[in-house]
Amino acid sequence: MPLIDIDALHKSYGETEVLKGIDLHIKKGEVIALIGKSGSGKSTLLRCINGLEQINGGAISVDGQQLINDEMHLRNLRQKVGMIFQQFNLFPHKTAGENVMLAQQVVKKTSKSDAEAMARKMLDRVGLGDKFDNYPDQLSGGQQQRVAIARALAMEPIALLCDEVTSALDPELVGEVLEVVRELASEGMTLIMVTHEMAFARDVCSRLVFMHQGRIHEMGAPEEVFTNPQTPELRSFIGMSH
């Protein structure tokens, strides 16, 4: 059974239809890269999966549970599906450690000592064990993004959504974040990422999904998609990005 089921998903902003019927089934442990031009709907698709955007039609289910738009259902869903953002979105009034601890304590009602132990473990895992007491503005962009990853991991999600996680970083900081993502993939975490890092996507992903004008235009194993694109749109997109 797939972990994430997306069927006939439609999403509009007012008159503009941005997702025009998406079917996508993601198995546990798959690493999916959503690629495509800006405006093709890939970020919107990602944001629909954890309910940040309300859908207008179709259905999404995660781990057998239907996405329903009320607070308790969303709360359950979001504990299973973590999200990492382009702009990191760390809580600036809390230290790195507190950022990782907060939702555990508030949402999962974990005790403070357990939350702290988990936070230390997760910060260690992303290579920031020594930054527990630093505030976000004392960290580089790459470090902030790694704290954001630790924060999502501390909730022990079954899948992670990554929305252009390296796009706001200086080029020299991209590598450290991708390294963490690569490690997660190799440990079997289910990942769905919107990315412009084509080389990384080709290297790490089990499946590439090319989106065009609100639809899945083409998808397949990365080698296949890159070496033998079937549609002129994908051909020109790959040509562009090289």
Partner 1 sequence: MSQIGFWDILTNLIFATGWTVLLSIISFIGGGILGLILLFARIGKRKWLQHVVKVYTEVFQGTPLLMQLFLAFFGLGLMGINVSPFLAASVALILWTAAFLVEIWRGCVTAIPKGQWEASASLGMTYVEQMRHIILPQALKLSVPPTVGFSVQVVKGTALTSIIGFVEVTKAGTVLANATFQPFTVYGLVALIYFALCYPLSLSARKLERKLNAAH
- The SS3 call for residue 210 is strand
Nearer to partner 1, 19 or 139 (CB): 139
Nearer to partner 1, 157 or 222 (CB): 157
Q: Least CB distance from residue 42 to partner 1, whole Å?
A: 17
Long-range contacts of 10-13 (CB under 8 A, 24+ apart): 10/55, 10/56, 10/57, 10/58, 11/41, 11/44, 11/45, 11/48, 11/53, 11/55, 11/56, 11/57, 12/56
CA distances to 2, 43, 80, 150, 160 from 19, in Å: 21, 10, 24, 31, 21
Nearer to partner 1, 74 or 158 (CB): 74
Q: Least CB distance from residue 237 to partner 1, whole Å?
A: 28
Q: Least CB distance from residue 136 to partner 1, whole Å?
A: 10
Nearer to partner 1, 46 or 205 (CB): 46
Q: Least CB distance from residue 161 to partner 1, whole Å?
A: 8
Dist CA 220 CA 137 (whole Å): 40
Q: Least CB distance from residue 204 to partner 1, whole Å?
A: 22
Nearer to partner 1, 89 or 206 (CB): 89
Note the residues at the interface with partner 1 (CB under 8 A). Answer: 50, 52, 71, 74-76, 78-79, 82-83, 85, 87, 89-93, 102-103, 106-108, 135, 137-138, 148, 151-152, 155
